[in-house]
């Protein structure tokens, strides 16, 4: 709400101000007769427990909700132990030795009409009349809860809860059915500014010849993915083969919606090259070009961007956008960095419950926040193993192999050193956590390498990178459609 009021104060006679007033009026009408969602006892408020030095504070509750999926994020000031309890369509998260920050007192949390999420209520132990002192409880009410998962993230500390409605997995695609998930802890100002930002949304292909703009036509057709070196028989290899069989049937489903995720944005610049190129700007440009390739070659596929302008999007929101829109694929685009200016090459990641090498864990830590651990020396992987099931690991691995093949062979045709094959890898990238579809993260070059940076300064090479990403994706889509046709023939 504060963001809208600020827009009105700065531009009182503008179109943005008029739209801001309309949004504020709409939400005021929605909340007018509703009780507060943050209920704190008078005793707690008077004692100002939240001001105690070193005390754990609940600082905010954010939500991203669609018709049959919702993600709730509980923001905390420090590491917290919590207990979760489900009662019918209500999920309760109880925090011990905690308090609610005073800025939330009396807050009403906005949830979208017609979404799975119905209400979020925060209360302390005194209001709940529990014997435990210093207890805070978050109650999440949904329309029809089928399943849920929770995990903790650090830097900053938060608890993430994914909720799914009954029958949501089998829901068919409809473009009108699922609005983009929107953060609701505060009234979002993004929709108001969307018109002003729209002119920035088109791919930038200035000063490029027709041959450059159609760079994909000159790239090798990707008919086979990059495969790892053959491994000896092992439990891991057997598990991978089994997962591939489990995912094989799902892979025959038609791909109608793809989410492209340009990394970073807004105040989060990502990697900055020696010459000042910012990762957030590079990957947004490449993502726009990739979108254009998909739309041109597959007009029946809807393409959704997690951000289409230079704005910050929380890691949790990116996955929520893909889940709430029932995306079939999720592709996150990033650029790499290394302390060594000689480091070069491309690599593609997917999420897997298997342990990742230390180098790949460092890559995940650099791009995203880190996974929380419960005590010193505890391994991070068990924290997210339970939320990788929906990622369809075998399909994500296959998609990563095709994308990597496109990058190596496409970029390599112009600059073999820049396209050195660093492999298909798995690491706990937060942006991939909880994605309910095949999902990958592509590191398309090294901004820390001066020679790579010089290439990336040109629109021609950026077009080459986007075309290479599309070449790999195109190979995967053709394989998918061939599998779909075989499935239809067998059904007949």
Among the listed residues 362, 348, 431, 361, the one whose alpha carbon sits nearest the alpha carbon of residue 396 = 348
Q: Element (H or E) spanning 141, and its range?
A: strand 136-142
Question: 52 near 149, Cβ under 8 Å?
Answer: no
Beta pairing, strands 158-165 & 145-154 = antiparallel
Strand 136-142 and strand 117-124: pairing? antiparallel
Which string of DSSP letters, residue by residue, matches 311-376? Answer: ----HHHHHHHHHHTT-SEEEEEEEE--SSTT---EEEEE--SSPPPHHHHHHHHHHSPEEP-SST
Tokens of 441: 């993260």
> To which residue do tokens 């009780």 refer?
35
Q: Is the pLDDT of residue 57 over 60?
A: yes
Q: Is 189 helix (H, G, I), strand (E, B) or coil?
A: coil
Q: Is residue 342's pLDDT more than 90?
A: yes
Tokens of 356: 């990742």
Instruction: Give the C-alpha distances (Å, rounded to integers) separating 104 from 40, 100, 121, 176, 238.
Output: 9, 7, 11, 34, 51
Average pLDDT over residues 137-165: 92
Residue 170: its pLDDT value, please? 42
Please say whether the beta carbons of 373 and 380 come within 8 A: yes
Q: What are phi and psi of 145, to 5 degrees?
A: -90, 120
Average pLDDT along the chain: 77
Q: Which domains does the chain have, with CATH numbers?
A: 1-33 (no CATH), 34-190 (2.60.40.3500), 203-227+236-491 (3.40.630.40)
Give the confidence band of 132 by pLDDT, cuts at 50, 70, 90.
low
Longest dimension (CA), the chain: 73
pLDDT interval class at 247 (50, 70, 90): very low
Tell me the C-alpha distance between 247 and 241, whole Å: 10
Q: What are phi and psi of 147, to 5 degrees?
A: -155, 165
Q: Distance between CA atoms of 99 and 59, rounded to whole angstroms? A: 9
Q: Residue 56: phi, psi to the nearest 5?
A: -75, 130
Burial profile 87-106: b = 16 or more Cβ within 10 angstroms, e = fewer: eebebbbbbeebbbbeebee
Q: Where is mean pLDDT largest: 9-18, 394-403, 427-436?
A: 394-403
Instruction: Dump pLDDT digits (tens) for 156-189.
Output: 899 999 999 977 654 444 433 333 343 333 333 4
- DSSP three-state, residue 405: helix
More confident residue, 219 or 159: 159
Q: CA 106, 107, 112 angle in degrees (round to 5)? A: 145
pLDDT for the residue 124: 83
pLDDT at 20: 77
Ranges of beta strands (E only) in 155-231 are 158-165
Q: What is the per-residue pLDDT across 371-410, written as a single tens digit (0 to 9) for each?
A: 444 443 444 444 444 444 455 888 999 999 999 999 999 9
485: confidence class by pLDDT, cuts 50, 70, 90? low
263 close to 280: Cβ distance less than 8 angstroms: yes
Report pTM: 0.76
């Amino acid at each position: 709400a504060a963001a809208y009021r600020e827009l009105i104060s700065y531009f009182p006679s503008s179109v943005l101000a008029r739209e801001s007033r309309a949004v504020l009026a709409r939400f005021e009408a929605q909340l007018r007769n509703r009780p507060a969602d943050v209920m704190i006892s008078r005793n707690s408020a008077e004692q100002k427990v939240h001001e105690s030095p070193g005390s754990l504070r609940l600082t905010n509750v954010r939500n991203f909700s669609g018709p049959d999926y919702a993600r709730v994020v509980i923001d905390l000031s420090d590491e917290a132990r919590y207990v979760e309890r489900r009662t019918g369509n209500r999920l309760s998260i109880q925090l011990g030795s905690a308090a609610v920050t005073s800025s939330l007192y009396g807050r009403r949390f906005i949830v979208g009409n017609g979404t799975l999420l119905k209400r979020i209520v925060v209360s302390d132990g005194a209001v709940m009349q529990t014997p435990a002192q210093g207890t805070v409880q978050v109650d999440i009410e949904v329309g029809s809860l089928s399943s849920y998962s929770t995990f903790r993230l650090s830097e900053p500390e938060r608890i993430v809860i994914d909720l799914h409605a009954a029958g949501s997995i089998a829901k068919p695609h409809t473009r009108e059915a699922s609005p983009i998930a929107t953060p609701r802890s505060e009234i979002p100002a993004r929709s108001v500014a969307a018109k002003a930002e729209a002119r920035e949304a088109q791919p930038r292909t200035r000063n490029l010849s027709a041959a450059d703009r159609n760079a994909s036509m000159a790239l090798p057709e990707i008919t086979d993915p990059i495969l790892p070196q053959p491994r000896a028989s092992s439990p891991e290899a057997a598990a991978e083969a089994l997962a591939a069989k489990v995912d094989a049937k799902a892979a025959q489903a038609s791909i109608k919606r793809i989410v492209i995720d340009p990394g970073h944005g807004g105040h989060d610049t990502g990697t900055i090259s020696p010459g000042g190129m910012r990762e957030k700007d590079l990957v947004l440009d490449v993502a726009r070009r990739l979108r254009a390739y998909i739309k041109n070659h597959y007009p029946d596929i809807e393409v959704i961007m997690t951000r289409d302008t230079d704005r910050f999007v929380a890691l949790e929101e990116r996955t929520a956008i893909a889940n709430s829109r029932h995306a079939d694929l999720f592709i996150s685009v990033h650029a790499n960095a290394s302390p060594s200016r000689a480091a070069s090459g491309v690599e593609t990641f997917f999420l897997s419950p298997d342990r990742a090498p230390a180098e790949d864990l460092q890559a995940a830590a650099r791009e995203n926040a880190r996974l929380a651990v419960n005590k010193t020396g505890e391994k991070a992987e068990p924290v997210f193993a339970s939320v990788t099931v929906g990622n369809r690991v075998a399909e994500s691995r296959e998609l990563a192999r095709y994308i990597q093949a496109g990058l190596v062979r496409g970029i390599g045709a112009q600059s073999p050193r820049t396209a050195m094959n660093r492999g298909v890898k798995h690491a706990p990238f937060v942006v991939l956590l909880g994605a309910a579809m095949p999902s990958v993260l592509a590191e398309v070059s090294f901004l820390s390498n001066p020679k790579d940076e010089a290439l990336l300064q040109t629109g021609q090479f950026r077009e080459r990178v986007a075309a290479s990403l599309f070449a790999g994706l195109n190979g995967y889509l053709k394989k998918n459609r061939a599998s779909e046709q075989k499935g239809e023939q067998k059904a007949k």
